[in-house]
Amino acid sequence: MLLKAIRQAALVVVIYSLAVAFAQAGQAKIDISGTWMFDVQTDAGAGAPTMTFKQDGEKLTGHYTGTFGEADLTGTVKGNAITFSFSADFQGTALTSTYKGTIENATSMKGTLEISGVGSGTFTAKKK
């Protein structure tokens, strides 16, 4: 009786371990490092900035080039969620842009953005 209970407990542990391993394998981390072409639609108009990302675990750094000139950016990647922001001087006004989105796969993402004092909008992006 005791031996049967031990075998059942061992089987449960093995099944649980396999389930966890398969779940983790299915959530393989996507590295978005590289150059991305964005299509941005805002209340104030459209733009096509370029972002260069360097991902180190969940930490994201990079560079923005677009309508607001150039600026370094920082953010995070958690699972398939991405958030990053940068501050740039546009015609003498300091603007902070914050992007929040979903990484769909290793080559595309989409989401929303807020530009302080200017408005909000949406974006899609493709890896170059």
Q: How far is CA 74 from the centre of its chain?
A: 11
Domain boundaries, the chain: 34-127
Given the structure tokens 């449960």, which residue do they identify?
Answer: 12
Mean pLDDT of the chain: 85
Kindly state the tokens that stand for 52.
């260069």
CATH second-level architecture of 34-127? Beta Barrel (2.40)
Angle at 106 between CA 88 and CA 83, to 5 degrees: 35
pLDDT beyond 90 at 89:
no
Return the pLDDT at 90: 81
Return the pLDDT at 44: 83
pLDDT tens digit string along 13-51?
445 554 444 444 444 588 999 999 999 999 889 999 999
User: What DSSP letter does each residue of the chain carry, written as one string?
Assistant: -HHHHHHHHHHHHHHHHHHHHHHHHHTPPP---EEEEEEEEETTEEE--EEEEEEETTEEEEEEEETTEEEEEEEEEETTEEEEEEEEEETTEEEEEEEEEEEEETTEEEEEEEETTTEEEEEEEEE-
Using pLDDT thresholds of 50, 70 and 90, give the confidence band for residue 7. low
Q: How far is CA 60 from the centre of its chain?
A: 8
Using pLDDT thresholds of 50, 70 and 90, give the confidence band for residue 5. low
Average pLDDT over residues 90-114: 94
pLDDT beyond 50 at 12:
no
User: What DSSP letter does each residue of 39-75 carry, written as one string?
Assistant: EEEETTEEE--EEEEEEETTEEEEEEEETTEEEEEEE
